Structure 1
Amino acid sequence: METTLKALIATHSGDLPAIGAPGRSWLSYDGLRALGVEVAQALNGMGIDASDRVAIVLPNGPEMASAFVTVAQAATTAPLNPAYKEEEYAFYLEDLKAKALILQDGDDGPAFAAASKLGMNIIRLSVPEGAAAGHFMLTSDISADAADKAPLADDVALILHTSGTTSRPKIVPLLQSNVAASAQHVRESLKLTQADRCMNVMPLFHIHGLIAAVSASLASGASIWCAPGFDALKFFGWMKEAQPTWYTAVPTMHQAILSRAARNSDVIADTPLRFLRSSSASLPAQVMRALNETFNAPVVEAYGMTEAAHQMACNPLESGTQKPGAVGIPAGPRMGIAHEAENHLIEGTGEVVISGPNVTPGYESNPDANEKNFFEADGARWFRTGDQGAFDADGYLHLTGRLKEIINRGGEKISPLEVDGVLLDHPDVAQVVTFALPHPKLGEEVAAAVVLKDGASSTEQDIRSFAAEHIADFKVPRKVIIMDEIPKGATGKMQRIGLAEKLGLVAESGQ
């Protein structure tokens, strides 16, 4: 098996299409490989090589896809969400110890402001007039001695932050070998070939899009057509242009696509999909069935997470083998069920654990988290996913809930403590507990119960507006309940889990 991103794309026929986009010509595999050489030369000339971290803040599209693939052939990539506010960029850039930041030419927004204040090197990405999709040039004012260390299998290819049960997100380093292994696991479970074409609508700062859509396609010699984000109104027009054989998305996207499917039945008939894939949040069984009937194609639900370089389990592709409500069978790594408190494997229901070549070697600079989340048993090193579940008699994994308190908003993981910290900065807020509110489409939404300081008169909207100035939109509580006192458990602690039910919000949220 290939163990680096460069090796994944090294042998495909050069004239095959690799990366496409609306209204653009295709970048071939020869073109993508040549771009990789140009990017490495440019970065090396700026004194950047495999030992350095380069943050990337670009809009969704072909350049983000090709930037990830090519920068990772020379340095460590750290893609960040373009929706962050300046203070969020300041935290992440500093936490990553990034050596440089790649921004689109002319982007002088919050990421630029944060990097400038940190004195960080800015690299500008520009697209030449009439260039093929994904082709770009890098320029900067960096003056440094040239570097030339190329990444090997054990070097870090990709760094992402993941929300933990603490307010400080954990740093997840994924090796070249982790990324390559996961891309090949997805390729094998979906039986991808060079005849396949993925239409990507997933954000490319997210492990789902980076691995399942981009890396797995390129590992197969297949093509990846990159939409500029997700837009249900444009989806079927893009589908007509792209002529894909599959797409991958989170359940909320699938539901939005379904809502517009009836009026686009001609496009569906003219563009038969080989399959559809869903991951990053639980796909309701009703939605899986509706997608299957609408597109007349298998709907493959997969189970992934950042620490596993995305995919862990996947429903089989063969017709009739998908189980609604199950996240599939192990698809690459070994999987097991562990005792939730003791470090050994058990039968029945417990914490889902994984072991394999796609699993991160451990969180960076976080020995406590590593001790808590990794253990040795049965001749393997296991990672605790924080999810509870059980395998059925056919070997399919069914998840029964999360052990942690992280809010999963349509695949976006949000730390309640991070939101607590922001709301507590409001001058009128005395106490706050952020919690998950069940939501019919997103799975969970962010809510917060707040106690105001004596004499304060802030409203729900005041607090939400304050939050919106400090954190990305998807983290802002959609509901803020102002209370005289927040209910506490028997030990006196404020309890997040079950708070929505205690406050009588569950029936309301499902309406």
Structure 2
Amino acid sequence: MSATLSDLFAFHRNDGLAIGAPDRPWLTYAGLRDLVGHTINALHAAGIGRGDRVAIVLPNGPEMATAFVAVAQGAVTAPLNPAYRLEEFEFYLSDLQARAIVLAEGYDGPALTAANRLGLAVLRLGHDAADPAGSFTLRAESVAPTEPDRSSVRPRDVALILHTSGTTSRPKIVPLLHTNLAASAHHIATSLALTPHDRCLNMMPLFHIHGLVAAVSASLAAGASVWCAPGFDALRFFGWMEAARPTWYTAVPTMHQAILSRAARNAEIIERVPLRFIRSSSASLPAQVMQALSETFRAPVIEAYGMTEAAHQMTSNPLPPQAQKPGSVGVAAGPLVRIASETGNWLVDGTGEVVISGPNVTPGYEANDAANAASFFEAEGHRWFRTGDQGSFDADGYLTISGRLKEIINRGGEKISPLEVDGVLMDHPAILQVVTFALPHPKLGEDVAAAVVLREGMEADEASIRAFCAARLADFKVPRRVILVDEIPKGATGKLQRIGLAEKLGLVSPA
């Protein structure tokens, strides 16, 4: 198995296609290997070497993909969301202890201001649209003051640093080793049976683990190709599909739903560009959406379960002839996956907290002893990581997630899975999207509420939706409030936001 990111593609055919993009020639594997060498030299010339942390703030696209891979071979990568404000850049750059930042030529936004305030070396990335996709040069606008460590990166070196979402607390720093990323890339490539004949259409943000590992790294591990769109755009998806001719794409559920809304008028493209499979991850895929995708594209839909601390994938629905079970995130697909007590450090049968152990799992949060003590434990000869998700296995070994433990609604002692309520509401013919969430209650502690987006041209009111639920759910699970909205708030990766939704919708005052 590969030990570093470069090992993933060290021996693929020189003329094999690696990185593509709209209206750009393909970058070959030989070209990608050359780019890695040039990038390492440019980093050293700027005073940056092994162990130094380099923030990358670039638009989504092929250069972001190759910058991640190439910079990781000479330093430590830390991709950041280009949409951050100045205060956010200052926090993350400081928290990461970054020594340098990669910015596009001509960029003069808040990331540059923050970098200059913190005294970072500034590296300018330039590219020519006539060159192969992902090709770039690095120019040092300012240089780090010390001599860099020019030694080669090693398998146990940190390759990538990301922060947790920090929805309810200060974001935690997650360091991922080269071995973690390489293991996860191989796990995904194996579970999807990727070969050099496969091509991924990537629309996922490349400052997030889903796109970096499932789309880019897994494709490179298999000698396959990845075509990098400039982000997600439902209006452009089918044009990209025809231009890229992918065999698969990976996305979050909200993206799949937007694609489905435009599928009928693009039936000819779907016919001309058959997909081998469709992958979904990073949030729960409603069973109704899974079925609609499979019927529309006449391809299996592979829902997977991943998180940053696992370098993405933990479980995955298998490919045919094995079953893809709607509502399940599949079987263990790389690491060991078990159920643990929610209150103690032991493994259990039945329902409990999902825990994992394997070569893709982070060695631990950085500088956070309390979080590590709460998140890791030893049992039955393995070191287990607590995912924070509640789940259970069926008789066939398929895992079903009930929800985040912190999102489980506690209504006067009755525990309610918001995903279960979501599933019932998604059967309502007028409902397009829904998020069930906890609404603070003065006596019960929490009650059930749901934010709903209706399908275009259809009508329903709160009373009729509650009646629909009451016919299908126990009374204590029926939402006491149903809020009709035009759009449900989403995170940076397109995931619907459950935590804090009561405040965002104005149902409670901010704390």
Determine if the TM-score, normalized by the shorter chain, exceeds 0.5.
yes
1:74 is aligned to 74
Partners of 1:50 and 1:369 in 2: how far apart? Answer: 27
When structure 1 is superposed on structure 2, of 158-167 and 325-334 the one drifting more is 158-167
1:253-292 mapped onto 2 (5 Å cutoff): 253-292=255-294
- Is the 8 Å Cα contact of residues 164 and 406 (structure 1) preserved in structure 2? no
Q: Distance in 2 between matches of 1:96 and 1:214?
A: 23
| 1:51 and 1:149 in contact (8 A); partners too | no
The amino acid across from 1:349 in the alignment is: T
- Deviation track 1:424-453 (CA, whole Å, cap 9, x = no partner) reads xxxxxxxxx9999744579xxxxxxxxxxx
Aligned partner (choices 361, 366, 383) of residue 363 of structure 2: 361
Give the Å deviation of 1:145: 2.9
Q: Distance in 2 between matches of 1:436 and 1:211?
A: 36
Quote the residue 1:26 is aligned against: 26
The question of whether the paired residues in 2 share the 8 Å contact of 1:200 and 1:226 is answered with yes
Residue in 2 that maps onto 1:217: 219
Confirm or deny that 1:479 pairs with 2:504.
yes
Over 6 Å off, 4+ runs:
406-409, 433-437, 472-478
Point out the more displaced range, 157-166 or 120-129. 157-166
Q: Partners in 2 of 1:328 and 1:51 — Cα distance?
A: 37
Check conservation: 1:45, 1:145, Cα contact below 8 A: no
Q: How far did 1:341 drift? A: 0.8
Shift of 1:90: 0.4
1:46–1:145: 8 Å Cα contact kept in structure 2? no
CA deviations 1:275-331 (Å, max 9, x no partner) are 000000000000000000000000000000000000000000114610000000000
1:323 aligns with 2:325: yes
1:504 maps to none
Q: Which runs of 5+ in 1 are unaligned?
A: 410-415, 417-432, 443-471, 487-493, 495-511
Aligned-partner Cα distance in 1 for 2:360–2:448: 30
After superposition, the C-alpha distances for 1:131-156 in whole angstroms (9 at most, x for unaligned) are 11000000113165353122111000
Q: Distance in 1 between matches of 2:447 and 2:219?
A: 37
Give the structure 2 partner of residue 3 of structure 1: 3
Tell me, yes or no, if the aligned pair for 1:45 and 1:147 is still in contact at 8 Å. no
Deviation at 1:166, TM superposition (A): 4.9
Distance 1:52 1:183, change over 3 A: same
Q: CA deviation at 1:404?
A: 2.2
Q: Describe the shift of the 1:185–1:440 C-alpha distance in structure 2 as closer, same or farther (beyond 3 A).
A: farther
Q: 1:320 to 1:288 in 2, by over 3 A?
A: farther
Question: In the aligned structure 1, how far is the partner of 2:99 from the partner of 2:196?
Answer: 36
Partner of 1:16: 16
TM-fit CA distance, 1:167: 2.5
Whether 1:147 aligns to 2:149 is yes
Deviation of residue 47 (structure 1)?
2.0
Alignment gaps of 5+ in structure 2 = 410-417, 420-436, 438-444, 455-493
The structure-2 alpha-carbon separation of the partners of 1:440 and 1:398, relative to structure 1 and needing over 3 Å to count, comes to farther
Question: Which of the residues 169, 172, 175 maps onto 2:174?
Answer: 172
Report how far residue 262 of structure 1 moved.
0.3
Which secondary structure state, in structure 1, belongs to the residue aligned with residue 295 of structure 2? Answer: helix
Task: Measure, in 1, the Cα distance between the counterparts of 2:147 and 2:305.
Answer: 44
**Correspondence 1:102 to 2:127:** no
Q: Per the alignment, do residues 79 and 293 of structure 1 end up closer, same or farther by CA in structure 2, a change over 3 Å counting?
A: same
Contact 2:254 2:495 in 1 (8 A): no
- Could you say which residue in structure 1 is the equivalent of 2:391? 389
Q: Matched residues in 1 for 2:259 and 2:215: separation?
A: 18
Question: Is the 8 Å Cα contact of residues 282 and 495 (structure 2) preserved in structure 1?
Answer: no
Alpha carbons 1:298, 1:319 under 8 Å: kept:
no
Matched, 1:40 2:65: no
- Shift of residue 480 of structure 1? 4.3
Return closer, same or farther for 1:247/1:157 CA change in 2, 3 Å cut-off. same
Aligned twin of 1:374: 376
SS across alignment from 1:234: helix
One-letter amino acid of the counterpart of residue 153, structure 1: P
AA matched with 1:220: A
Gap change, CA 1:440 and 1:191, over 3 Å in 2:
farther
Give the 3-state SS of the residue equivalent to 1:77 in structure 2: strand
2:205 pairs, out of 180, 203, 206, with 203
Cα distance in 1 for partners of 2:130, 2:167 equals 47
Q: CA RMSD in A?
A: 2.8
Q: Deviations over 1:216-270 (max 9, x none)?
A: 0000000000000000000000000000000000000000000000000000000
Instruction: Give 1:195 shift.
Output: 0.2
Counterpart code for 1:67:
A
Letter in 1 for 2:159: A
SS of residue matched to 2:151:
coil
Distance 1:320 1:291, change over 3 A: farther
